[in-house]
Chains A and B, each alone.
Chain A
Amino acid sequence: MKQLLGIFPLRNLHTGEYEDAELYMPIDGQNVEDFETRWRPLLDERKANLAPHETTASANIQDAHWKWREKTATRNNRMDYASFSVECGGTTQGLMFVRTIDFARESSQLNQFLIYVDLVSTAPWNRPGFTDNRLYSGVGPLLLGTAINFSIDQGFDGRIGLHSLPQSESWYRDQCRMTDLGPDANYPNNLCYFEMTAAQAHTYITT
């Protein structure tokens, strides 16, 4: 059953005011509907209107699609997954899916348990790369903080791991101070793998 984890402020960039957002675990049918009816049309439109210089990227997307299809085999009914949503302004502003058990690769914490972030995403209208007229600020930090919080709750000391999309690498490396372990040849599109140690996690959620 959907559980309210807390109320957190997001900044409405149109008004400059803070608004209360709700953080939930797990996702529910309403989040799925928001994704299908509000996120999807914007994402599809973006995909259909790629700039000429993005044609190659588009081709890569098609090529990688099969790999992603394999990777995203049904997740429901699995106990080793957890999901979170951020809701504000009457709709879903962010989503995160995590694997509740995985093993660290970074040398100082090799093979220790961590939470693996399988997918984290904000609504298209909140992304700097998607629109110049973004709506809410703060969804990303809230979801990353939630992943760290969940890791601590599970007894994993805040350790998390994730594969960053290229446009997000600088945020994970420079803002979140996660360790960049480089491109992962075993992951679709060879995305870079990042890990947060217990010390890095502590710093992130206390500063």
Chain B
Amino acid sequence: MKMIITPGWLRNKIETAPDTEIEAGIPVMMLESIGMFLPRESAEEPAEDERLVRLKHAFGVFIRNLRLTRELPVEALAECAHIDATELYAIENDPHYVTKPRTVYQLANFFGINLKKMMELSGATQTYDESLEEEALKFAAKSDGVSSLNKEEHEILNEYVKFLNEH
């Protein structure tokens, strides 16, 4: 993160603003532990398990096929959905890529897909929904990675969109 605030700015705040309470959100007195906030790499579980990689692979295939149905090059979809083309390329091709939640929102909005399911599929939020994973893997397995979709692949894609939006 590029820092904009400076030490001089903070010193000025300390010297000009009265000190007071700043507590907001969840009161820490209520927390049993803050360990729940430990990020992925600090958690006890492996940084990235195979299951998550498979889900993210399916997410990449899903986004690519949605893009192909609209006959949009990567750059054009990125422009339409107001996201970064480099990130879109990474989503489609790198199952280890960590997609930003904002990007998932923009894509879900553009394609009219259930946001919660998209967040889970992208790995942005956790899911314990086994059927989501199962259907995602089936969908990815049926897609052959070509640059255009045939009739059968269109049908598979439509069925999967229906599953995500109605599940």
Contact = CB atoms under 8 A, between A and B. Distances in A.
Interface of A: 1, 3, 5-11, 18, 25-29, 31-32, 35-36, 39, 43, 46-47, 61, 64-65, 68-69, 71-81, 83, 95, 97, 100-101, 113, 117-122, 127-129, 134, 137-146, 148-150, 152-155, 162-165, 167-168, 170-172, 175, 194, 205-207
Given A71-B26, A127-B21, A148-B5, 20 more contacts: A8-B7, A9-B7, A29-B42, A35-B34, A68-B31, A69-B32, A72-B26, A72-B36, A76-B39, A77-B43, A78-B124, A80-B101, A80-B125, A101-B101, A113-B105, A120-B23, A134-B19, A138-B10, A149-B4, A152-B4
A144 B21 CA distance: 12
A50 to B, nearest CB: 11
Central interface residue in B1, B34, B40, by most chain A CB within 10 Å: B34
A68 B124 contact: no
B152 interface: no
Given A8-B10, A155-B102, A121 B37 contact: no
The 3 A-B pairs with the shortest beta carbon distances in the complex, nearest first, are: A140-B22, A119-B25, A101-B101
Nearest to B3: A6
15 contacts: A8-B10, A31-B34, A35-B33, A61-B29, A74-B36, A77-B126, A78-B124, A78-B125, A79-B101, A141-B22, A145-B13, A149-B5, A153-B2, A167-B21, A175-B17
B23 to A, nearest CB: 4
Contacts of A25: 1
A113 B102 contact: yes
A32 B125 contact: no
Contact of B1 (A5, A47, A71): A5
A129 B21 contact: yes
B4 A76 contact: no
A194 B25 CA distance: 11
Nearest to B15: A11
